[in-house]
Structure 1
Amino acid sequence: MEARAEIPPGLPRPEPTISYWQTRPSDVANLRTTLDLPTTAEYVVIGSGVSGSSIAYNLLSKRPIASVVMLEAREAVSGATGRNGGHTKAASYRSFLEHEKSLGLAEAIKIARMEYASIMATHAFAREHGIDCASTPCRTVDIIYSRTHLDLGRKAIERMRLTMGLDDPAAEYHVWSAEEARKRFLTPAALGAFEYTAGSLSAYAFATGMLKLALAKSLNLQTSTPAESISSSTAGDRTLWTVKTPRGSIATPNLILATNGYTAHLFPRMQCLIVPLHGQVVAQRPGSSLPQTGFEHTFSFVHETGYEYMITRPPGSSNEGDIVIGGGLWRLPNDGASQYGETDDTALQPTIASYLRQCTTGFFGSNWGEDHPAGRIKKEWSGIMGASADGLPYVGAVPDTPGLWMSSAFNGHGMVWCLKAAEALVGMMTGDASARKVVDHWFPQSAVLSKERMQMKFTGRKDLRAPGEAEFGERSRL
């Protein structure tokens, strides 16, 4: 794992796989607001995914006359946001015990509540601004195939209820027995299930919708403009950052890295702290015996050492009923260690591709029915996540580096972190002392970038581990 973490990420590859969500590209996919790249700006944001788009929108909402330029290496929202599985799902119980142990109870509760709030805020934002992204708040279910996960999941849920209160929506879970789960969710091999609040959407459509709102507030978007390098200079008490691109350079006193798995390319101090992770997703037509307009729930399928995540396109959306399923990393040797440090999203990993094409029939068994006459597979693609050394994002000012800010490394859970992380980051950047205290009150301080966190060592993606990870042994080899 140390060797994989040390691989330089480089720039995003040209001509990546096209995701299911990008089949109809947004009309801002190749936008350059101005013909020439500006030479200066008050703020420069690198990255146009949900983080970068949220940051730009929040900045221009707070400072309407500020000049904000966004640089994107490829098409707009062509990174992890445009390639994910369409889930807004926290599964906070899976990390709660470990967070309590390592960070303290108060911080564990703050993380769980922030994740829940981010889900609610994402769907509320889409609704308020009329973003056509098939935003669907709904229930989700984790189908459990491991006795150990089942027992520890129950323990984590009981602890959340005890410490957060039975009326706290972030601690609201329903535990289903094996018999109930098999009947209710059409999963004949389930050992049990946990049901709670989540949602689904097209993250690509959501982020491009937010990007359009920021453009309406005067954001200058420059696509196909990769940031090749960054450097700083100081004159008196003023630090200026220069971003070099193939189209020229742009200077700014405030440089924001919303670059997720690619961050170490521009800022090598994050090498071995933010490690790229190659993931895959497949879109399928449902079997003939499954609901043809989609399930009421989204799903995860939790095994002893890994999981898959699945949504169905909701009724009334384009391609309603389609299944979108991702994961499969655990099918590779050493729990997929070979996929860390990998940034080639132009290709698919064959073992994972084969597994994802077939696994749904195993999960639903005879409830699947016959494959669609047009075939099961509609689209498959890959994308690059960013995994952090301690399992939490890096949000805030880079220590001892004036003018450099970051919101990156979301460990595959960007849709339950990015929106609120962007809000927090902009509050840190633009607010006075009282405003920053408000941010400190609700945003987990364990996710704020610090000198201490920059001394940690990457050992593998934390969220792939089970609830109460210290009580397990199967992942210690990572």
Structure 2
Amino acid sequence: MAPDPDFEHPKMEERRNIPPGLPRDNPIKSYWQDPPDAIADCRTTEDLPADADIVIVGSGVSGSSIAFNLLSSDPCLKVVLLEARQAASGASGRNGGHTKTATYRSFDENVKSVGPEDAVKITNLEYNTMVTVHAFSRQHSIPCDSVRCQTIDVFYDSAQFEAAKESVALMEKLMGKDEAPKHIFHDAVETAEKYLAPGSVGSLEYESGSLSAYKFTIGVLKLALGKGLNLQCNTPATSISQSGDKRWTIETPRGTIKSKKLLLATNGYTAHLYPLLQGVIVPLRGVVTAQRPGQNLPQQGLGTTYSFVYKEGFEYMISRPAGSKFEGDIVIGGGMHVAEGDGMNEYGNTDDTTYDKSSADYLLECTRRYFGPKNWGKDHTDGHNRRTWSGVMGFSADGYPFVGPVPGEEGLYLSASFQGHGMVLCFLCAQAVTSMIEGKDGEELNSWFPECYRVTEQRMGKKFEGRIKAAGAPEPQPVENGTT
């Protein structure tokens, strides 16, 4: 059954009203964070500063990039970054390591909902973010196992395969074939032979990449520290308020800090500090596994990244490159549709000290099935599963991030709600919000930044009712009978 955008699942109102709270103590250590970096518990100064020019909450790709951008523009700025746990311990240190756009999956819906101009801007922003992240890591010698490669989306549902063809055709029509990202369709035989994925109806190839988002984020934080950032880890912001002098007061267990400007790079946790976004930005817990490859697969890694697309949802997968730690490992996330309550109980769930076992078991089973017994072979002699962990994403009603100043709240900015798709959104969104903070929000920014990503009163009034797009997230949208 196709998703009905006007239907609200009866349990969603309950799930979206669960307060996200603070990030949990002692989360499962993700594959990427073992071992944690030397700056994981960094406190630049022993005591929390009493004031700053700008306070950033959240040390993921967004927060670290914004800090770096601001200090690159003005080294005299007093920038303090607060992190509730260890540095980069949230979604940026817990994801699947995939820099993959998959913009075609939402292009048609974007055209219908926000118009062709913004749909094209979204496509370009995601592609350019992917390119820029890898280029930045090379430029600054960040050791994050950065790899640019092709990706392959393997389809097991004919309707979705046909919809992909239609969406790519529309993209090429509106953008021009030479300007649109290049997409190459393959039939089932070529998919099985070239990409070792039997049993499909066909596949779609385009540009992608992989990296350790944790190491990338740590690298950006170190660059910002070198420019004067004051990083305060294990220092959760517990509440925010604005006084008569228009300064923001940020309360923490270690004291209070005040600043004229405040940036919340808190993704799925944003409503904890700004309750007006309760039910507007909704957390969703996802599961990722790192698996040793079957003995018949290339042990030094596959040449492409993957997604496996079927009626109920999809999985996303990278293969760790040759020369990296645990080369050849498969890192795959998804399996939301088999989670408890058809995945519904993962909405509003911020408990990354554990994970949904049904999803984890599914992820371990599906790789053998996707590659087939012949291509997979026997499990690795050291065991199939190397690590399983969870992470918290943030979703909005319209499927777009919240980036920029908050209406009616002088000096308050957001860079949050990245729809499980942050690795091809956060870095350039950080450039955009930096421009806004610096008062450079004009024609140049408008030329490339999607209008639909900006924070507006109208968007803040929309409560989350279920996923309406399938750009980067692993879960299907709930519909009336609890399936898709």
Same fold (TM over 0.5): yes
Deviation at 1:148, TM superposition (A): 1.0
Q: Which amino acid is 1:462 matched to?
A: I
Specify the code of the residue in structure 2 equivalent to 1:408. Answer: A
> Residue type of the partner of 1:306?
G
Residue 382 of structure 1 and its aligned partner are, at CA, apart by 0.6
Quote the residue 1:223 is aligned against: 233
> Which residue of structure 1 aligns with residue 129 of structure 2?
118
Q: Please show how residues 359-378 of structure 1 align to structure 2 within 5 Å.
A: 359-366=366-373, 367-378=375-386
User: For residues 389 and 277 of structure 2, what CA distance do their matches in structure 1 show?
Assistant: 27
Matched, 1:80 2:86: no
Residue identity opposite 2:425 in structure 1: W
Identity across the alignment (%): 50
Equivalent residue for 1:53?
Answer: 64
- Larger CA deviation: 177-186 vs 68-77: 177-186
TM-score of the superposed pair, with normalisation by structure 1: 0.96
The 5-angstrom pairing of residues 283-432 of structure 1 reads 283-332=290-339, 335-366=342-373, 367-432=375-440
> 1:45 offset after TM fit, Å?
0.2
C-alpha distance in structure 1 between counterparts of 2:398 and 2:198, whole Å: 36
1:154-193 matched pairs, under 5 angstroms: 154-168=165-179, 170-193=180-203
Return the letter of the residue paired with 1:45. Answer: I
Give the RMSD, CA atoms, in angstroms: 1.6
* Cα distance between partner residues in 2 of 1:91 and 1:464: 9
Query: In the alignment, what sits opposite 2:243?
Result: 233
Q: What is the CA–CA distance in structure 1 between the aligned matches of 2:50 and 2:415, rounded to whole Å?
A: 24
Give the Å deviation of 1:477: 6.1
After superposition, give the CA deviation of every residue in 1:344-379 in whole Å (9 maximum; x if it has no partner): 000111111111121100100121011111101111
* Count of equivalent residues: 468
- Which deviates the most, 154-163 or 11-20? 154-163
Q: Is 1:260 the equivalent of 2:271?
A: no
Is there any run of 5+ residues in structure 2 with no aligned partner, and where?
1-11
> Retained in 1: the 8 A contact 2:106–2:470?
no
Say if 2:114 and 2:452, in contact at 8 Å, map to a contact too.
yes
> Quick one: which amino acid aligns to residue 431 of structure 2?
E
Q: CA deviation at 1:171?
A: 2.7
Moved more, 309-318 or 68-77: 309-318
Q: Is the 1:407–1:425 contact (alpha carbons within 8 Å) kept by the matching residues of 2? A: yes
Aligned CA distance change for structure 1 residues 473 and 324 (closer, same or farther; 3 Å): closer
Q: 1: distance between equivalents of 2:386 and 2:315?
A: 18
Quick one: distance in 2 between partners of 1:462 and 1:207?
29
Which deviations, in whole Å up to 9, do the C-alpha atoms of 1:143-182 show, x marking residues without a partner?
11111101101100111111111112x4310011111111
**Contact 1:305–1:474 under 8 Å retained in 2:** no
Distance across 2 between alignment mates of 1:161 and 1:382: 37
CA distance in 1, matches of 2:439, 2:66: 14
Return structure 1 stretches of 4+ with deviation > 6 angstroms. none
Q: CA contact under 8 A between 1:93 and 1:157: conserved in structure 2?
A: yes
Amino acid at match of 1:338: N
Cα drift, residue 57 of structure 1 = 0.4
Q: CA deviation at 1:337?
A: 1.2
With over 3 angstroms needed to count, the CA separation of the structure-2 counterparts of 1:123 and 1:465, relative to structure 1, is closer
Aligned pair in 2 of structure 1 residues 197, 146: CA closer, same or farther (>3 Å)? same
- CA gap of 1:466–1:129, structure 2 versus 1, over 3 A, is closer
Paired amino acid for 1:175: F
Report matched runs for 1:202-217 at 5 Å. 202-217=212-227
Amino acid at match of 2:461: Q
User: Quick one: structure 1 residues 192 and 411, their matched pair in 2 at CA, closer, same or farther if it must change by over 3 Å?
Assistant: same
Task: Give distance in 2, aligned partners of 1:2 and 1:130.
Answer: 46
Letter in structure 1 aligned against 2:334: G
Give the structure 1 partner of residue 55 of structure 2. 44
Q: Which residue of 2 aligns with 1:2?
A: 13
Distance in 2 between the 1:197 and 1:158 partners?
17
Match of 1:137 in 2: 148
Match of 1:243 among 217, 241, 250: 250
* Structure 1 position 457, deviation (Å): 2.0
Task: Provide TM-score, normalisation by structure 2.
Answer: 0.94
Of the three residues 457, 460, 465, the one matched with 2:466 is: 460
Superposed CA offset, 1:96-141 (max 9, x none): 0000001111111111011000000000000100000000011001
3-state SS of 1:193 partner: strand
Q: How far apart in 2 are the matches of 1:193 and 1:208?
A: 35
Which residue identity lines up with residue 341 of structure 1 in the other structure? G
CA-to-partner distance for each residue in 1:35-93, whole Å, 9 max, x for gaps? 00000000000000001001100010111100000000000000000000000001000
